[in-house]
Amino acid sequence: MPMRYEGGCLCRSVRYASDAEPVNERICHCRLCQRAIGASFNARLLFRVEDVAIEGPVRTFPSSEALKRGFCPECGTTLFSLRESAGVMGITAGSLDDPGLFKPAEHIWVSSRQPWLCLADGLTEYPEAP
């Protein structure tokens, strides 16, 4: 049965939805994600850009040449990371209306995970990108 992934920012100015299956679901521990989100890691669901409908005044900031961070200019919630060259965007699991839809399979960039964090969920770990 197809699932609907819906979510948005804290102030509800920006909303998104997708009926597609995620390309993958990962937790990224890279420093750029940590800084961009202001969190200890980035739990995200990767979708093809054309599979996600976004409404609202979303803005992007390039955290590197390859990646743009999408956020709400009103409340600042980080909603996605956009890799235009690959046509994919990683939706932040915390911005889902139902975060229980997030089913992570892998940890990536664990070489830069925060030192207090103990990974004990049995998921595959990659030191850097898989």
Judged by the rule CB under 5 A, the positions of this chain that interact with Zn ion are 9, 11, 13, 28, 30, 33, 72, 74-75
Instruction: Quickly list DSSP for 48-97.
Output: EGGG-EEES--EEEESSSS-EEEE-TTT--EEEEEEGGGTEEEEEGGGBS
Q: Which is nearer to Zn ion, 3 or 124 (CB)?
A: 124
Minimum CB distance to Zn ion, residue 28 (Å): 3
Minimum CB distance to Zn ion, residue 1 (Å): 30
Rg (CA), the chain: 14
Q: Which is nearer to Zn ion, 3 or 10 (CB)?
A: 10
Minimum CB distance to Zn ion, residue 69 (Å): 10
Minimum CB distance to Zn ion, residue 97 (Å): 14
How buried is residue 94: exposed, middle or buried, by Cβ count under 10 Å (0-12/13-18/19+)?
middle
Q: Which is nearer to Zn ion, 13 or 60 (CB)?
A: 13
Q: Which is nearer to Zn ion, 9 or 18 (CB)?
A: 9
Q: Residue 121 in 3-state DSSP?
A: coil
Q: Give yes or no for a contact between 3 and 25, defined as CB atoms under 8 angstroms apart.
A: no
